Amino acid sequence: MNYIWAGMVCIGIFFSLINNTLPAFTDGLLDSCTRAVEFVIGLSGIMAVWCGIMKIAEKSGLIDAAARLVMPFIRYLFPKEHNAETIAIMLMSFMANIFGAGNSATVFSLKAMERLDAENHYSDTASDTMCMFLALNMSMIQLVPITVIKIRSQLGSSDPSSIIIPSILVGFLSMAASILVCKFFERRQSKP
């Protein structure tokens, strides 16, 4: 990624030199940096609130209650996973995604993948459980897409929350497609 960004900056400098627009390039670069910092600071408040809510849900036992509720579904999705702690971490990641706290879900996702990788004996090939977890994590439904609502609000949308229903519908479709594709390849791989 560092090479890509460095390459993009070098190409920008090269073309601004050729077109004799180096001052405009510099102004644009500095303006973009300023807007990026303002954007991140604006999102940090929302992320702090959701991280706090997730921590409260974890400490109050709400996550455990949700885990018991969805355990039959989890057993269908991850039939080879029997470690309760790994399943709990995976559920924390899913819950963070469902409630729109994608950045806090990253922490849980990394922990879950580390555990799944250890259970897979650090193989070069991802296990079925790892593939399903990754596919679900990337396509997980969001009940309240906080980040998108915040971006739409900052950009002056007259109704920033109008994205909620379409987001839920698309989330269900993408989750269903992810599950079907993973299950198809699991069955195909298990056939002799």
Q: Is the pLDDT of residue 55 over 80?
A: no
Mean pLDDT of the chain: 84
Mean pLDDT within 62-88: 81
- Quote the CA–CA distance of 149 and 181 in Å, as a whole number: 30
The model's pTM is 0.67
**pLDDT tier at 66 (50, 70, 90 boundaries)?**
confident
Question: Which amino acid type is present at position 153?
Answer: S
HSE at residue 87, side-chain half, CA atoms within 13 A, is 19
Q: Is the pLDDT of residue 49 over 70?
A: yes
DSSP, res 125: S
Mean pLDDT within 97-105: 72
Query: According to the model, what pLDDT value does residue 184 have?
Result: 93
Q: Is the pLDDT of residue 178 over 70?
A: yes
> CA 72: distance to chain centroid?
24
Share of the chain above pLDDT 90, in %: 20
Of residues 14 and 44, which shows the higher confidence score? 14
Query: According to the model, what pLDDT value does residue 101 have?
Result: 67
Q: Is the pLDDT of residue 157 over 80?
A: yes
Mean pLDDT within 121-146: 87
Query: According to the model, what pLDDT value does residue 46 have?
Result: 67
Q: Is the pLDDT of residue 102 over 90?
A: no
Mean pLDDT within 78-106: 79
Q: For residue 97, what is the enclosing H or E element? A: helix 84-98
Domains of the chain, by residue range, sit at 47-190
**pLDDT tier at 103 (50, 70, 90 boundaries)?**
low
Mean pLDDT within 159-188: 90
Query: According to the model, what pLDDT value does residue 131 have?
Result: 92
| Helix, strand, coil in percent for the chain, rounding step 5 | 80, 0, 20
Give the orientation angle of helix 22-60 with respect to helix 102-119, to 10 degrees. Answer: 70
**pLDDT tier at 179 (50, 70, 90 boundaries)?**
very high
Query: According to the model, what pLDDT value does residue 7 have?
Result: 92
